[in-house]
Structure 1
Amino acid sequence: MIKRVAVMDLGTNTFHLLIAEGSAASYREIAHRQEAVKLGEGGINKGYILPEAYKRGLDTMLKFHEQIQASQVQEVRAIATSALRSSSNGNDFMKEVKAKTGIEIEIINGDQEAGFIYNGVKMSGCLSAKNSLIMDIGGGSVEFILGNADHIIWKQSFEIGAARLMDLFHRTDPIPPASIEALNLYLEDHLFDLFTAVAGHKVDCLIGSSGAFETFAGVIETEKGHTFDLKTIKHYSFDEEELLTQTNKFVQSTHQQRVGNKAIIPVRVDMIVVASLITRFIMHKLDIYNVLMCTNSLKEGVLADMLG
């Protein structure tokens, strides 16, 4: 009998639901939904989920529960990351979800999160024998995984996600030069472990796992007049100049300009600015200009685990 499973990735900005069946090597997607919950909005750096965000999260879980029941799923996993991990009322949220849906939310630590992201990226087939640095920019945390198709060399999660950085540095729009400078100094200070880990290794490419990197690729291709469908793309290779030009445009843009761009999904309209700054910082700091986007991330890594 073919196994049908559901994975929920409950992130700081977005809640994802993926229902699939088959084997890890070749699965069929039954449903894939994402909801802009913005769980960290207004409270991410205070360690508290505000009432409006709490309600959005709960409503989304009720919707997901309905779809899971309608899809006759045999196994369910709901994985929570940075926002629920670090908020004082995250436990209340989990208890309420369990009471109303029966869904048991698992909180994973940053190390487990990085491991699942590696497995998801590996499953897409974009890792090689050469070393890559995988970067997953979430709302609450950013995961870095140094490794290749055979194994992980080093991995770590840093609580410097886009929602946190936005709250700290992107308060006026466009983001002022002084804020960019302060953000870069902050990254310099907080990513010391990353620089140390990478120092002894030759890194062939930077792989951006889903999220902001999908937006970078989508906007670049749409502006060329090309169609860009994430359902048919597993990975995308950036032209260095195009990527740096596009991230620079995002950094200099206003909120209105970004809202007007149909290739940017609403939840990323503002986050894309700090995501652009993190990406540029890593490229320059580590001298890596071969950049790929991979549509797989944590949920596909969990799916691989479930489908064996």
Structure 2
Amino acid sequence: MSTRKAAVIDMGTNTFHLLLVELNGVDFKTLYKEKIPVKLGQGGISQNQLAQDAQKRAFHTLKHFKNLIDGENIDQVFAFATSAVRNASNGAEFVQKVKEDIGIEIHVISGEEEAQLIYEGINLSGSLNGHVNLMMDIGGGSVEFIIGTSQEVFWKRSFEIGGQRLLDAFHYHDPILPEEVDKLEAHCQEKLSPLLEAIHQYKPTGLVGASGTFDTLTDIYFESMLQCKLTGQHVFELPKAEFERIFELLKTKNREERLNIPGMIPMRVDMIVVASCLIEFILRYVPVEAIVCSHYSLKEGAVSRLLSGKVAV
């Protein structure tokens, strides 16, 4: 069977991911992956701007990624930009400059396309079953929600309430104050009313969290149980009671103390509090005993498209 190589670059609002894969028609092998906390939304996302410092970090990272891609002689490259770029008034200018200076063509995908790719990535991980699940992916700029099964999507939508936006708007004190949590929850109640209606309509019985924050929460849980995640495992369970315990821990610690929690990684330490507040809010509406955590998300959704022979966007 003939194999081919491809590269996927997921340019998130907080983190840039590079995934180099070898495709063999029905499956893929990861050759290399890397994630870098570029923080593209920092210093400008609330004004719908890409700040100059953030752009510099992005260029530095993309040049590094391009060197790795060229080193593997890969010419099939799919680069996606999400919330920070699609909402920035200078986003198109940034995309053009990347193309001219680095030679990477960036697809700025809509929130709906992002949600669909996230669903395909989650499905590829084996996280779904015949039941109706609510899936969520908490990015720095936006949060995607999908309701569906392994067979089909019933409803999907992207909301511009990602971790960086919530951090800028509500997390002024460290540890976060109870009144800041209350304001954040009231904001979610208002902004997510279409989601709450969809939950009422489709009645999901499971909650699947994709990548990012959910990876870190499961890392913290596994560390507390003195267990290691198995290499090659893409689906993990986080008991609701354990999430609640970790959430209480996160709310009462400052940044330095959070960094000392076993399993915490520096790139998640700032946004994990507001992201966990959002998860806690969602758990009120989806009664589950455990959160299923998919290690696969947007970039694996792009790989799924490549495997099926479809274009990536």
- Aligned equivalents of 2:13 and 2:251: distance in 1? 22
Aligned AA (2:129):
S
What TM-score do you get using the length of structure 1 for normalisation? 0.97
Greater mean alpha carbon deviation, residues 138-147 or residues 197-206: 197-206
Q: Distance in 1 between matches of 2:249 and 2:232?
A: 27
TM-score (norm 2): 0.95
Q: CA deviation at 1:100?
A: 1.7
Deviations 1:66-98 (A, max 9, x none): 000001113111000000011112122211211
**Matched residues in 1 for 2:307 and 2:184: separation?**
40
C-alpha contact (below 8 Å) 2:205/2:286 kept by paired residues: no
Matched residue, 2:44? 43
Shift of the 228–274 alpha-carbon distance from structure 1 to 2, 3 Å rule, reads: same
Measure, in 1, the Cα distance between the counterparts of 2:19 and 2:50: 24
- Counterpart in the other structure of 2:96: 95
Listed as ranges, the gaps of 5+ residues in structure 2 are: 309-313
Q: Which runs of 5+ in 1 are unaligned?
A: none
User: Retained in 2: the 8 A contact 1:39–1:49?
Assistant: yes
Residue identity in the other structure for 1:156: R
CA contact (8 A) 2:15 2:38 kept: yes
Name 2:171's counterpart in structure 1: 170
2:219 maps to 218
Identity of aligned residues (%): 37
Q: Alpha-carbon deviation of 1:200?
A: 1.9
In structure 2, relative to structure 1, the CA distance for the partners of 1:198 and 1:24 (3 Å cut) is: farther
May I ask how many residue pairs the two structures share in their alignment? 307
Query: Secondary structure at the residue paired with 1:286?
Result: coil
Instruction: Identify the range of structure 1 (157-166 vs 19-28) with the bigger mean alpha-carbon deviation.
Output: 19-28
CA deviation vs aligned residue, 1:107-132 (integer Å, no higher than 9, x gap): 00000000000000001111111100
Task: Please state whether the residue corresponding to 2:202 is helix, strand or coil.
Answer: coil
Contact 1:216-1:247 at 8 Å conserved across structures: no
Q: Which residue of 2 aligns with 1:244?
A: 244
TM alignment of 1:103-114, pairs within 5 A: 103-114=104-115
Alpha-carbon distance in 2 for matches of 1:3, 1:33: 20
Alpha carbons 1:14, 1:35 under 8 Å: kept? yes
Q: Describe the SS at the equivalent of 2:19.
A: strand
- Secondary structure (helix, strand or coil) at the match of 1:200 reads helix
- Conserved in 1, the CA contact under 8 Å of 2:22 and 2:31? yes
Counterpart Cα distance in 2 of 1:265 and 1:91: 32
